[in-house]
Structure 1
């Protein structure tokens, strides 16, 4: 297997974003020269002990705090309901008084302490014996931890206004049944409102037209939240009051509605991270403390206990956070620690060594969003379990022992395993996930979105094994296979895309879903001092499936002839030289590149190409030939700009084969590249030009570039050409 951080072979297509636009599992690694490798699943050997899916399942024993009573060990393929019947028969034949309930499996004999492992590539800890480096052996804890109540002033009386109670514990049966029917039949009532400068699209399942949604509560600060008492002081200290955006997002997040937020930026990312971490820890603490208190009551009352608590899922993990890089995981861990202020952090040194990279990689001239994503350890293959005990956080906990799972899409998919390998596949640790947080989703789109889809397909499935579960404590809706109707999904992205919209639209949360996005003024107004003629040309495509062919036909019949005509001119300021063709999709890039290589019509147009698979030397050569005029045309992909953010000199004309998903790229390419040519005296001010090709299926991209007020006309009007200066 090639060293990590190096490119593992150039491929004809990069499968990402559902196989449409070539967003394969590309990672970016910087060490002196910039290098790439493809992180597609099939490129990773299953013998890799660091991220082996087998290791993720075979070493996952259970030691869940405050969970359930011991259960007889069941065969590997025992169904949960068979295990339930066996446990009931066992209880009926036993007259022993109940004890403090606790879920566990037989642990292997205690091992001697393993000496510190050597640090491997990318700061990861290697293990000569082949153990899973993302997990640690955990000693069996004192059972008293499961029944001893913490110093918590929370009242045992359920709070009818607490969303945790109304969503998970005691939902209103009438409202729940109506909404569940709406989810099943895909009937939603959507309402659009504006608040604090943000557009809010609220979709509630099962509502009839004459029903009205209650206005959301006004949250002015953490004091408005239903927090565990131990979190109130720290949250008030970290954020005494909410800004306008937080006043919009906190009621949605803490109300357990699904959220798609399309305004994430380097500026507000820290506040969003604090919000999601506070919500996740509050949920974990409420779930855990309820179990511990019920254990204490059962242990105290013994046989005279007159209640049967339903307070658990099949397995322990309750929160899943999907992140793009290890540096993002570091930021989340720091936010969690700031929120809950643990007395101890077990394995923190190992975590820092494996996840933190303090090397300064970029100069200050790199864009803020680029540094926010790629600064630090940008490895996109990781997963880690975090376990909360009394005033302690344990890192690298085994998955079935964990409360919170942090993982990249690739790392988690490898932990699950492949559908073809049923024997070693394990997704049971995802069966009881109740909160999913996808942060920096726009960055995940540039890795491999298929991994994210695969993960969501395996969430909240009925587990194949019992895993020591006491089914008498499992909530009814878990047993009824309705866990996905209670799961909350929070997606934070810089912008919306069809992939994110589909993920959000397929939500089955009975509480409903909300999309929040800004009103776009249009990136065409943020080009700085550059004044260039911008022409937007619309072509017609019968369907979204026919869009690539229609786009290519329009390009070769309407755009290329004008370039050929310019190539015949000898005037230095009017020939085809300095033409940059920006292509979002790698598959389209391959098609256009092959056309320029083989078509007789463009024989006179010399060209170079820079894609995400071009190494540094190849990209430098193409840029040099383009600047010198040896290549009149330069093909440039969106993902290469995402991972490298080149500033290309010599650009006099920009042709956009398609609009970029990220509107910032439009500003950087049009304003930045043409502006640099003006500064370098290679282009007369105002002589630069931009030609953009789009169809009605590019409406989301187009709105961010031209503005929310213009996009409707450009999609629906009879004319097909729109000029902006």
Structure 2
């Protein structure tokens, strides 16, 4: 089973990470998805309190969590060592760094490193951090001495998007775009390529603007570093139709929101993201190294003054849902770079890889893809490149790529909230390592929605801010648009999701403000889950009921009013409630509905059980058993519980969807899976199964994925409010 959801408004148990450590309850863990800052009857939660055998929340120190997991020990715990280090730093003279590979075995390395606590990652027991790596902080672009035969394929080229976007952009066009961003003026256009719909927003008010990049046949059409080009052509000589569309958009540094990620195209998308990220890092790093050589040759009397750096070294941030997702990204990067050596690889495998087969093939494919392997959602790791080596667990300020879960990175940034009790000391925040991020990749964003989405927004709010400390930065070489606070408009954000949601659309609109423009790519049309199910619907009658809401803010109240006035009476009439599954997407709506069933006199004779994301496994098993046996007439079931557990429910005679799920796969699994299985078990007559779905015009995105693009417009606009499908 995947780890239990953490944190939240009420509680979260102490999940056990797959790396072998007991993860304590964290105040920043997974929480219920609070829609539009709604708070509805949350105070009335009585039966979702923590079990008595669960430990209380522990205070996690965040004073020095800006590195990889367990990167640094707090100075206060070892004052003498901190004092000696500070004295030694004063006597050090800056010098160029020559990379010397250490062929010492991993076991010998770990034995020579001091034990210390993993900041923000350990319980109160005396577990030690096996992933600790000590190294001094380097400057933003520390020179790495390489051989003289380094690639010479990065001569300025007007056809190279890296040159035209970061190094030598057209200043006239750039100023027009930046003015459009500042005044929030965007030109929207629609295009179709190879069966995919592209919705483009370009800053400025001068239509039509430059055309979108045309599809390309393969990696030979990309401006790749020579050391990557050969591997890319060998791994993927030709692109499929989707890759032909996405590759030119990604390599042109457009902010991209892709809304059709599946288990089938996941590897190709991962390869695209890794190839683009590593190519960007290599081009940035090699330019700095070669400019260093030019400065060294000209001496102190030259006029060459390059602008080729950011404030800090990290350039790529990858936000991922689980450690197993990080393993897949790392393996893809290695397959493209083909490094001669990987430092700390054994330590990485011990902490991130779980080869245990936890799920049988009868589990859905998307579920196994997400939760198979190490499903811990609390991690952060820095990755550093040299010419022939990849180093894992590098200190954040010495890293080129940062990989982290939203929770892990939120813990690394820290919080300004005061300490507990009488301690009014402000905790140290550190987000300077995010100041020079130029490419952000958010993979499996649909899975991140099921965690705590506030963490993702918090991270984006702290990207590309002016650093609080210098971090040995050579400001004479910092690009001018960094100094002018224009870095967010040069950063590229790539979001890969199985579907679109209002949260993702808002993230794309709010933070996708690059001067190259933003593009959303989605299927040209949706057939709908109803059509895709075909005969699997077991001839159940499906009724979609539309209710009216004056505004998005008033929609939750209107939904609850419609449910209590139009749906609940049909359940109590003539004892008709037996075998009713009520599917509730939002946790707050779930609390509201549950409290209504518990307190309403009209429902006093209706027995019910609950299964939410915060219900422990024994309680969930009892509720499912009572429902299947008929002891509970109604079962309340949340979308996040289904996402994390995919419970096998029996005894379902009718399904009431309080709201449509974001994931259309869930509609098929609930209707065809639960209802179909129950029809076989209970030997119901064909058509006896009933599905009732509540929706409003604000559910347009969800509705389209379920009923299809051809029907959704009519269902939202027509006068009638009831639509039947058989």
Scaled to the shorter chain, the TM-score interval is 0.7 to 0.9
Change (3 A) 1:457 1:150: farther
- Equivalent residues in 2 for 1:317-716, closer than 5 Å: 317-420=314-417, 424-506=428-510, 507-518=512-523, 519-527=525-533, 528-529=535-536, 530-567=538-575, 575-716=576-717
Q: What is the aligned partner in structure 2 of residue 213 from structure 1?
A: 210
The change in CA–CA distance for 1:581 and 1:380 in structure 2 (over 3 A counts) is same
Runs of 5+ unmatched residues, structure 1: 23-35, 62-72, 74-98, 105-111, 568-574
- Among 253, 257, 262, the residue aligned to 1:256: 253
Displacement, 1:684?
Answer: 1.7
Q: Check 1:552–1:129 CA distance in 2 against 1; reply closer, same or farther (3 A cut).
A: closer
Alignment of 1:1-400 (within 5 A): 3-5=14-16, 14-17=31-34, 43=57, 45-47=59-61, 115=111, 135-138=132-135, 146-149=144-147, 151-155=149-153, 157-209=155-207, 211-400=208-397
Contact 2:68 2:381 in 1 (8 A): no
Between stretches 594-603 and 129-138, larger displacement belongs to 129-138
- Residue equivalent to 1:32: none
Does the Cα contact within 8 Å between 2:62 and 2:427 map onto a contact in 1?
no
**Is the Cα contact below 8 Å between 1:120 and 1:126 reproduced in 2?**
no
Structure-2 residue corresponding to 1:76: none
CA distance in 2: counterparts of 1:689 and 1:637, whole angstroms: 19
Give 1:536 deviation, angstroms.
Answer: 0.6
Using the size of structure 1 for normalisation, the TM-score is 0.85
Shift of 1:695: 0.7
SS in 1 for 2:328: helix
CA positional deviation for 1:195: 1.2
Offset of 1:627 from its aligned partner?
1.2
CA distance in structure 1 between the aligned counterparts of 2:129 and 2:176, rounded to whole angstroms: 46
Equivalent pair of 1:51/1:132 in contact (CA under 8 Å): no
**Displacement after TM superposition at 1:216 (Å):** 1.4
**Structure 1 residues 144 and 654: CA distance shift in structure 2, 3 A:** closer
CA contact (8 A) 1:533 1:688 kept: yes
Q: Quote the offset at 1:49 in angstroms.
A: 10
Change (3 A) 1:639 1:251: same
Give the alignment's Cα RMSD to 1 decimal: 3.4
**Distance in 2 of aligned mates of 1:333 and 1:619:** 36
For 2:57 and 2:709, the matched residues in 1 are separated by 41
CA contact (8 A) 2:353 2:373 kept: yes
SS in 2 for 1:419: coil
Superposed CA offset, 1:164-199 (max 9, x none): 000000110111111111111111111111111111
Structure 2: which 5+ residue stretches go unaligned?
1-11, 17-22, 40-49, 76-85, 87-93, 100-107, 419-425
Q: Tell me if the contact between 2:259 and 2:500 (Cα under 8 Å) persists in the aligned partners.
A: yes
Kindly provide the CA deviation profile for residues 326-370 of structure 1, in whole angstroms up to 9, marking residues without a partner as x.
000000000000010000000000000000111111011000000
Residue 312 of structure 1 aligns to a residue whose secondary structure is coil
Relative to the length of structure 2, the TM-score reads 0.84
